[in-house]
Copies of this chain bind each other. A is one copy, B any other.
Amino acid sequence: MRLLWVYAHPEQRSLNGSLRDEGLRALREHGHEYQESDLYGMAWNPVVTGDDFCHDPRTRLSILDESERAYRAGRLSDDIRVEQRKIEWADTLVFQFPLWWFGPPAILKGWFDRIFVQGFAQGVTDPDTGRTLRYGNGGLAGKRAMVIVTVGANSATTGPRGIHGDVDEILFPLQHGTLWYSGMEVLDPFVVTGVNRLCSAGFPALAQELRRRVLSLPTSTPIPFRAQDSGDYDEHLVLREEHAPGQTGLKVHKRI
C-alpha cells in the first residue's frame, strides 16, 4: 500500500495517538509506504477563504467556480496543493479522529472543505457523456478509505436503536457524502466506543484489532453503498421503487 494517514487529534499522548503509532508501526513492519498528515501538528488551517484561490476581494466570491479555475491552473494555495499531492500519491487513505458533536473536529472538516475542490474530488465529468461522476466514481476513484473514530458514548447508545443514533448513520455525511461521493471505496469504520471509560488493560486487544484492520485494507470488502451508475437510481437520482421498497432513511443507499 501507499497509505495517507490523516490524524486529527490535539494530543499525541492520547488513545488516538497510541492507536495511530500502532497502525503506522504495522505498516512499516510489513513494508508498506505511508505519509502522515497530522493536522494539529501541521497547524492546518481549516477555513475556506478567497485566499485559497487568489480571489479578488472586490468581486463576489464564487467558491465552486474559482476553486476549480485555480485548481486547473495550479494556483490553489500551497498547503492545499501539498495535501492534494499526498492524496494523488496514495492508494489508501485513513482518517482518524475523536467524534466531537457527532462529527469530525473542525480541523478535519475543513481539510475536506479546502482540499476536495471542484475538478479534484467533485464535479469531475465523464469526457464522453459530460455526466458528473460521483458515488463510486469520480476524481478519487480507485482509492480505498477507512475511518478510525473514538467515541465517548458506549456501544449500546450508539447502536441501531441507541439514543445517540446509529454511529454508522452518524458517519454517513463523511463515509457516503464525502469519501464515496468522490469515488473512493469505503471500508467498515474502526469505531472505538466508551473511550472515556476504557482502561489501559484494554489497549493491547484494541491495538491488535487495529493492526489487523489496517493490514487488511487492500483486501477487505467495502461498504456496499450504491453507485450512481449502478442503475439503482432513476434519471432524477432517486432510488428506484424496486430497491428497498417502501423504505426511507440513509440505509436505503446500501445494498444489503
Binding site for B on A (CB under 8 A): 10-11, 13-14, 40, 46-50, 60-61, 63-64, 100-107, 109-110, 112-113, 116, 135, 152, 156-157, 159-166, 169-170, 172-174, 176-178, 181, 196, 226, 228, 233, 236-239, 244, 248-253
B253 to A163, Cβ gap below 8 A? yes
Q: List 29 A-B contacts (CB under 8 A).
A: A40-B47, A46-B107, A46-B110, A48-B100, A64-B196, A100-B113, A101-B113, A102-B172, A102-B173, A102-B174, A103-B103, A105-B109, A106-B107, A107-B110, A156-B236, A156-B238, A160-B248, A161-B238, A161-B248, A161-B252, A162-B238, A162-B239, A163-B233, A164-B177, A166-B248, A166-B250, A170-B177, A249-B250, A249-B251
Residue of B nearest to A57 (CB): B11
Residue of B nearest to A176 (CB): B165
Residue of B nearest to A159 (CB): B238
Residue of B nearest to A169 (CB): B250
Residue of B nearest to A106 (CB): B110
CA distance A173 to B158 in the complex (A): 12
A-B pairs, top 8 by smallest CB distance, nearest first, are A106-B110, A102-B177, A102-B173, A46-B106, A160-B248, A249-B249, A11-B61, A163-B237
A135 to B163, Cβ gap below 8 A? yes
A172 contact from B165, B177, B248, B253, Cβ within 8 A: B165
A157 to B46, Cβ gap below 8 A? no
Residue of B nearest to A112 (CB): B101
CA distance A215 to B11 in the complex (A): 44
B112 to A162, Cβ gap below 8 A? no
A13 to B157, Cβ gap below 8 A? no
Query: Could you say which residues of chain B place their CB within 8 Å of the CB of A248?
Result: 160-161, 166, 251
Residue of B nearest to A233 (CB): B163
A49 to B10, Cβ gap below 8 A? yes
CA distance A120 to B26 in the complex (A): 41
